[in-house]
Amino acid sequence: MVERCILDEYEDQRQAESVRIHLPGIGSYRGRYAYAAVIASVILLLAALLALYDVEQGSQTYIRNITQRNSTAELLRDVRSHLDLVENRLQRIVIEPVQKDVQKLEQALTQLSLLLNHLKQLLAQDDSRESQAIANQLQADLDRLHRSGMELVGLRTEVERWFPAIRQMREVTYPHSQAALNQLDILLAEVDEELSAEQRLRVVMSVSTLRHFWSAMASELRLFVSNRFGVFASDASVGMRSRFTNVIYYAEEVKAQINTLKALHEEGLLGFLGAESIDEVESRFTGWMRGAYQISVMLEGSGWRRDVVMLQQTIDPLLEQMRQRLRVINSDSENQSAADITRLTNMARQLTLTMGAMALFTIILVLLAYIFLNRTLLKQIARTALALKQEAQGNLRIVPPPAKLSEMRDLVEAFNEMRRQVHMRQKHLDHMAYHDALTRLPNRVLFRDRLEHALQIAVRDGRRIGLMFMDLDRFKQVNDSLGHLVGDELLKVVAERLQRVIRGSDTAARLSGDEFAVLAEGINDRADMIPLADKVVQALEQPVCIDEHELRISVSIGIAIAPEDDHLADDLIRDADTAMYAAKKQRGSAYRYFAQEMISEAAESLQLENELRQAVEAGQFLFHYQPVVSLWSGELYCCEALLRWRHPTKGLLSPAVFLDTLDDTGLIVRVIDSLLDSLVDQQKFLSRLVGRPVALALNLSPRLLNDPPFCRGLLKRLLEGQFQTGSLILELTEDTLTHELAEANELLQQLKNLGARVALDDFGVGQASLNHLRQFPFDLVKIDRDFIRNVISDSNDASLVQAIIHLAHAFDMKVVAEGVETKGQLAFVQNLGCDFIQGYLIGMPLSAEQAQECAAVDQASGGLFEPTEFLVD
């Protein structure tokens, strides 16, 4: 209705307009305004010319004065601005004296000098002698400011001048610290080799502890100095008190350790140079503490930074004095301007009558203009505004009213273009809000919305829907090793493959990170999800080539069915997520249907994870050692380090209970890293007991193999000689080879070059191939216990064991038979030429002390068994 009225009125106006006489330009607001403006201007100009002649002569002088004072005020603003700039440059130099800021300071001072000279010249034309004198004083102040600024630059560029404490640290505490540490190195070097191991250990531990506390004391002093700048605490004084308290604490520990060394010297454990070294360390400690207290006094005083003192006491007062002088000049100029204004006011009274007449004319003109504008412009704008409101309310059928004048036509056209752009952008924003920016798949919001809609339809029609929740295995390793760009490309490929294998009625979505979901509607049975899951697994297991990297991924899938499992969207997603974690435990690509018992299993898994974290913090993990014995000499060859958990209530737990969770959470890295020292000690102790090198074998999971800090630590230990050549055997499973060989090849080669040996563990039950044996020269191959168990009764197992032994020997690799529990099994593998055996027949996993007793038996008896006892012709 409104739209029809607008069009009718527009048609009436168009017909009336057609009979009017058109002047050039009268069809636009610009033309009509031009005509009105010319007429009004002529009238006003005539009136203005009459008044202008009367005031011209009297006002020129006053205008000249006002112009001059405006120039003075503008110049004063420039001078104040440059003063602020100089102050800012000085403050920046105090913070960090870079050459660029020094140059900018000199430029600012030069520009300020030019402005002051200009100000003097301008004030010379004025009658105020006071302002001229102040301008001369400002020039003198600037000279002093320049000298002080350059002096501050020179002070700030010499660290020892603006921060005196640094000289004390370099000339006092540092030399004392270095001399003391050198004396401690001499003490370590002079440890008498004839001392017993316990005595040498006491000496080394005392000296090392002293070195540790001395280094900690020196570090705390450096942190004390850093806190003076507020680096580690918002309140510098609080941080300084805390750090100096730590200095005193470590100083007491150092003093106590010096006394301990004196006691060791009195026992005759430090050699003939011990007394001199201890006295030198004690003397250096006294000197160091004296220097530390002097540094504390310097930093707690008000003059700890001389550049700040100079800035506050010299430069800031000078800047304030210059600003005060500028304010005096400005005030004098304002007073003179006020006097001029008073004189101009008197002249203005003479123009009152003329202005009244012009005002009356203007009022009449405004009224006429309003009538014109209301008729030709305001009504048009109101109609266009109505169309805009209707557009905002979503009424897309509203069309802006037609316009007569060109400006309004342009406005209407702009409105139509704006509407088109808004609709297009709104559509784009809607797509962005409900789709993942990387993969273009629906995001969690849109997926949940579709899931709720599908659930409503399924409940209403008595149908089923299936939900697949997917997580890419080892995706984080791809990101960490190859970068996020490769990871993003991999996610795109996964999204494309998902869209190819699902039905047109299904919905694939990326929920977050490497988590995807598929909604399958209209299924008849739970089993209908199996073909789809198989397609997804097969599609995602295909190799992916990105930037010359061939990636092989696996996926864990959890499946939930509605309404059997749940009928609410969030609950169904939770169920599928729970099933996905159950599938992930199977390792490799797998899928599981949700079952109610999974909830309790997830709770138990979470409880186990919490207990494991507490166990790591409490240090409840330890190694047990299972002997590996030579079949041909009966002697102890090595021991495999097997992880155990000393649970506070359940006792000693085997890895089957906790190892998978420990590896999934990444805690395995912290556990193994914390036990490496005990592994080093045990290897050395066993070798001393037996009188020959006894190696220790350590299992490397994919998680350990892909943790750079752990690998660097292991390389460092080998490089430092903590493990003798050949005394560390690193065991890798076949599944680790399948997924990690390309990444691990370089690392394992470095480990071998440093003296470690590499064993292929559980050979025969994984996915390793002959190509893996050819690509990497393993030192040992360990036959899995599943083949050894039935080797006497099962001819197939016997043939496989024989083939593995011959194959390994063909590649010049030694063979270990795992799980040997009977004499018959031992005799069998011995007759096949196997090199070593491991199993309960020889020894079960032993504690560290029991392993040492076993080594003692081996040394005393020349072996753990007689090899010829089991030979069969």
CA distances to 8, 638, 678, 851 from 858, in Å: 115, 12, 22, 10
pLDDT at residue 419 in the model:
73
pLDDT tens for residues 561-588?
A: 988 888 888 989 998 998 888 888 777 7
Distances (CA, A) of 291 to 176, 183, 250, 751, 843: 9, 19, 15, 47, 61
Most confidently predicted of 324-328, 421-425, 567-571: 567-571
pLDDT of residue 731: 93
Task: Specify the pLDDT at position 247.
Answer: 82
pLDDT band of residue 414 (cuts 50, 70, 90) is confident
> Has residue 3 got a pLDDT over 60?
no
Query: Is the pLDDT confidence value at 320 over 70?
Result: yes
Q: Phi, psi at residue 825, to the nearest 5°?
A: -65, -40
Q: Is the pLDDT of residue 95 over 90?
A: no
Question: pLDDT tens, 266-293?
Answer: 877 776 667 778 888 888 888 888 877 8
The β-bridge relationship of strands 814-818 and 780-783 is: parallel
Ranges of CATH 1.20.1440 domains, the chain: 164-304
392: phi then psi, degrees, rounded to nearest 5:
-65, -30
User: What percentage of the chain reaches a pLDDT higher than 90?
Assistant: 25
The average confidence (pLDDT) of the chain is 80
pTM equals 0.48
**Cβ contacts of 634 within 8 Å, gap of 6 or more:** 862, 863, 864, 865, 866, 867
Can you spell out the DSSP letters for 283-296?
A: HHHHHHHHHHHHHH
Q: Are 121 and 139 in contact (CB under 8 A)?
A: no
| Residue predicted with more confidence, 464 or 100 | 464
Alpha carbons 535 and 528: distance in angstroms, whole number:
12
Q: In angstroms, rounded to a whole number, what is the distance separating the alpha carbons of residues 109 and 95?
A: 19
Cβ neighbours of residue 87 closer than 8 Å, sequence gap 6 or more: 315, 319
Dihedral angle of Cα 169, 171, 175, 177, to the nearest 10 degrees: -20
Is residue 298 over pLDDT 80?
no
Instruction: Give the dihedral sign, CA 475/477/479/482.
Output: negative
Where does the pLDDT of residue 399 fall: very low under 50, low under 70, confident under 90, or very high at 90 and above? low
So what's the pLDDT on residue 398? 57
- Taking CA 195 as the corner, what is the angle to CA 190 and CA 199, rounded to the nearest 5 degrees? 95
Helix (H) / strand (E) element for 508: namely strand 507-512
DSSP 442: B
The residue count of the chain comes to 873
User: Phi-psi bin for 362: left (phi > 0), alpha (psi -120 to 50), beta?
Assistant: alpha
Where do you find CATH 3.30.70.270 in the chain? 435-595
The topology (CATH level 3) of 435-595 is: Alpha-Beta Plaits (3.30.70)
| Dihedral Cα 236, 241, 247, 248, nearest 10 deg | 170
What tokens were used for 625? 């050692």
CATH-assigned architecture of domain 164-304: Up-down Bundle (1.20)
pLDDT given for residue 16 in this prediction = 45
Q: Which pair of tokens denotes residue 356?
A: 């009244």
Element holding 509 (H helix, E strand): strand 507-512
Asked whether the predicted pLDDT for residue 261 surpasses 70, the reply is yes
What percentage of the chain carries pLDDT values higher than 70? 81
Tens-digit pLDDT profile for residues 500-533? 999 888 899 998 888 999 999 988 888 888 999 9
Q: Are strands 544-546 and 549-551 parallel, antiparallel or unpaired?
A: antiparallel
Give me the phi and psi of 518, to 5 degrees please: -130, 130
Looking at residue 162, its pLDDT comes to: 62
Q: CATH 1.20.120 in the chain, residues?
A: 63-159+309-342
Instruction: List where CATH 3.20.20.450 sits in the chain.
Output: 623-644+680-862
| 620 alpha carbon, distance to own chain's centre | 32
> CATH assignment of 63-159+309-342?
1.20.120
pLDDT exceeds 50 at position 873? no
User: At 12, phi and psi to the nearest 5?
Assistant: -65, -45
Q: Rounded distance, CA 266 to CA 307, Å?
A: 53
Q: Has residue 48 got a pLDDT over 50?
A: yes
Cα–Cα distance between 148 and 835 in angstroms, integer?
86
Which three-class secondary structure string do you get for 67-101?
HHHHHHHHHHHHHHHHHHHHHHHHHHHHHCCCHHH
Residue 687 confidence class, pLDDT cut points 50, 70, 90: very high
Q: Tens digits of per-residue pLDDT, 635-667?
A: 999 999 999 999 999 999 999 888 888 888 889
Does residue 21 carry a pLDDT above 60?
Answer: no
Has residue 305 got a pLDDT over 60? yes
Nearest to 780 by CA among 805, 755, 800: 805
Highest mean pLDDT of the ranges 132-146, 166-180, 619-633: 619-633
The predicted model gives 301-317 an average pLDDT of: 68
Query: pLDDT confidence of 402, banded at 50, 70, 90?
Result: low
Question: What is the rounded CA–CA span in Å between residue 401 and residue 382?
Answer: 10
The Cα 55–Cα 59 span in angstroms is 6
- Of the candidate CATH numbers 2.60.40.10, 3.40.47.10, 3.40.50.720, 3.20.20.450, the domain formed by 623-644+680-862 belongs to 3.20.20.450
Question: Residue 382: CB partners within 8 Å, gap ≥ 6?
Answer: none
Contacts of range 72-77, beta carbons closer than 8 Å, 24 or more positions apart: 72/119, 72/122, 72/123, 72/126, 72/329, 72/333, 73/330, 73/333, 75/115, 75/118, 75/119, 75/122, 76/119, 76/326, 76/329, 76/330, 76/333
| Nearest in space to 640 (alpha carbons), one of 794, 362, 837 | 837
Q: Is the pLDDT confidence value at 137 over 80?
A: no
pLDDT for residue 7 is more than 60 = no
